[in-house]
Amino acid sequence: MIHDGEAALRFPVMHSGARPCEGFLYVTARGIDYDPVFDPRPKEAFSATRDQISDVTISEDSGSCSFSIADPVGDQSFRPLYEQGNFRRPSLGFTEMDKKTDLEFVSYLVRVYRDFSAAEQELVKGKTAKP
């Protein structure tokens, strides 16, 4: 898809925080953007270029991924959002299978971030293979 005029992959995510919000994380060759479209609070939105992002980590315990982003954005953490407005909390029936799925989701997200051009080429191949 195209986001702000450039090729992007879009991930539905829950943004961790004191009051979690929900939206789309856009990964592009330029960086990452977060848009809390399902819970619009403009303060939570951000746009970060790769030179502002210093660390990307995956937490196997929580099935989340985190980005260390330069001030004023700061550290940001995300979990998969599978269905609009219906994210699952770990305290409410979080099974091993769910956690595996969460980890696959965030691992793919991070892989796309780390090698966007390879991910983009996979997408192009997928597109041309469709009838």
Please state the closest distance from residue 18 (CB atom) to Zn ion, in A.
9
Residue 44 three-state SS: helix
Among 13, 44, 64, 102, binds Zn ion (CB under 5 A): 44
* Helix intervals (H) in the chain: 96-114, 116-129
Q: Is 79 in the site for Zn ion (CB under 5 A)?
A: no
User: Are residues 33 and 4 in contact, defined by beta-carbon separation less than 8 angstroms?
Assistant: yes
Q: Is 21 in the site for Zn ion (CB under 5 A)?
A: yes
Within residues 101-120, the interface with Zn ion by CB under 5 A covers none
Is omega for the bond preceding 36 within 30 degrees of 0, making it cis?
no
Stretch that binds Zn ion, among 42-50, 56-64, 68-76, 81-89 (CB under 5 A): 42-50
